[in-house]
């Protein structure tokens, strides 16, 4: 008998961690296994061309067309910034988001968040607040880079404060890229001014960022980057394996899964067990 809670909130420790890639992969695998699945990304910023957007990739994974865009992504913003800042008319509310994200009978509902687990959606609510309102199971996507242990353990501690179940943590082994320096002081100050006042003399430095999976690889494995090297778990460098081992030591009850780098012949793991 399927579990009563079939709502899964796909989030991450930060933006550009590969949430859409994981959601698309999971969607395709669940459909192939015969499950009834609906994948949505209700809030998206940095939206421009539908076909190449994260929403477009989710539509393609479900064999839907651009005519169905409103059904999966009703809150779309052009500015590539956090939703609470992009939503100048303040159209987002937790009540509206919760009402939109209700699963149908016998359906697995995959809800992809916007940015990281603590990214603000409104002036007073984050993705974690949204997931909490939904009482959804969390699928946390993380990177494998210097600092990921602290970021991941911090995210897990935040999720634990809401007593939300973590269905899995997926370690996404993608290629890192640099990001130009930019200051987030005004946005952080707006959201946390009552709790964490920031000194105007301090300036945010450069933060690690990672290219979107939609720009790195095609969703069809046959069209992935031309790399003939067989990639099995035994070939994973020690630092990747150690990330999982270290996190597993801290949280032995959580399922940690490796998603290897995109290569032409890579065999992607079966994620369906997370939801079934």
Q: Is residue 184, in this structure, part of any structural domain at all?
A: no
Q: Which of 175, 157, 161 is nearest to 261 (CA)?
A: 175
Q: Is residue 196, in this structure, part of any structural domain at all?
A: no
Is 41 annotated as catalytic? yes
pLDDT in tens, 60-83: 999 999 999 999 999 999 999 999
Report pLDDT for 210. Answer: 35
Residues 95-116: what's their mean pLDDT? 95
Per-residue pLDDT for 50 more than 60?
Answer: yes
Burial class from Cβ neighbours inside 10 Å (0-12, 13-18, 19+) for residue 110 reads buried
183 or 16: which leads in pLDDT:
16
pLDDT in tens, 157-204: 999 999 999 999 999 987 444 333 334 445 545 554 544 444 433 333
Report pLDDT for 260. Answer: 86
**What is the CATH number for 12?**
3.40.50.300
* From 7, 41, 71, 267, the catalytic residue: 41
Q: Which of 206, 63, 222, 192 is nearest to 123 (CA)?
A: 192
Q: Is residue 57, in this structure, part of any structural domain at all?
A: yes
Per-residue pLDDT for 262 more than 80?
Answer: no
> Which structural domain, as residue segments, surrounds residue 68?
7-175+211-274
Report pLDDT for 146. Answer: 86
Q: Is residue 189, in this structure, part of any structural domain at all?
A: no
176 or 205: which leads in pLDDT:
176
Q: Is residue 42, in this structure, part of any structural domain at all?
A: yes
Q: Is residue 193, in this structure, part of any structural domain at all?
A: no
Q: Is residue 13, in this structure, part of any structural domain at all?
A: yes
Mean per-residue pLDDT over the chain, rounded? 81
Report pLDDT for 186. Answer: 53
- Helix axes 148-160 and 127-134, enclosed angle (nearest 10): 40
Q: Is residue 188, in this structure, part of any structural domain at all?
A: no
Q: Domains in the chain: how many in total?
A: 1
Phi-psi region of 108 (alpha: psi -120 to 50; beta: other; left: phi over 0): beta
pLDDT band of residue 232 (cuts 50, 70, 90) is: very low
């Amino acid at each position: 008998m399927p579990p009563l809670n079939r709502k899964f909130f796909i989030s991450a420790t930060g933006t550009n961690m590969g949430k859409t890639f994981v959601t698309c992969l999971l969607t395709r695998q669940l459909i192939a296994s015969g499950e009834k699945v609906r994948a949505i990304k209700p809030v998206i910023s940095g939206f421009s061309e539908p076909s190449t957007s994260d929403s477009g990739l989710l539509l393609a994974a479900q064999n839907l067309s651009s005519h169905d865009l409103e059904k999966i992504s009703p809150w779309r913003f052009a500015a590539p910034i956090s939703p609470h800042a992009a939503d100048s008319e303040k159209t987002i509310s937790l009540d509206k988001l919760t009402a939109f994200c209700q699963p149908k009978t016998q359906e697995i509902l995959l809800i992809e968040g916007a940015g990281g687990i603590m990214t603000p959606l409104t002036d007073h609510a984050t993705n974690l607040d949204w997931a909490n309102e939904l009482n959804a199971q969390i699928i946390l996507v993380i990177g494998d880079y210097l600092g990921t242990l602290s970021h991941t353990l911090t995210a897990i501690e935040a999720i634990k404060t809401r007593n939300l179940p973590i269905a899995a943590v997926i370690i996404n082994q993608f290629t890192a890229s640099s990001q130009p320096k930019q200051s987030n002081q005004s946005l952080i100050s707006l959201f946390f001014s009552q709790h964490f006042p920031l000194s105007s003399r301090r300036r945010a430095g450069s933060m690690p960022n990672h290219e979107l999976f939609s720009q790195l690889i095609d969703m069809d494995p046959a069209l992935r980057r031309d790399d003939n090297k067989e990639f099995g778990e035994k070939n994973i460098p020690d630092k990747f394996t150690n990330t999982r081992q270290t996190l597993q030591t801290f949280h032995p009850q959580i399922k940690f899964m490796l998603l290897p780098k995109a290569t032409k012949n890579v065999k992607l793991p079966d994620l369906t067990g997370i939801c079934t």
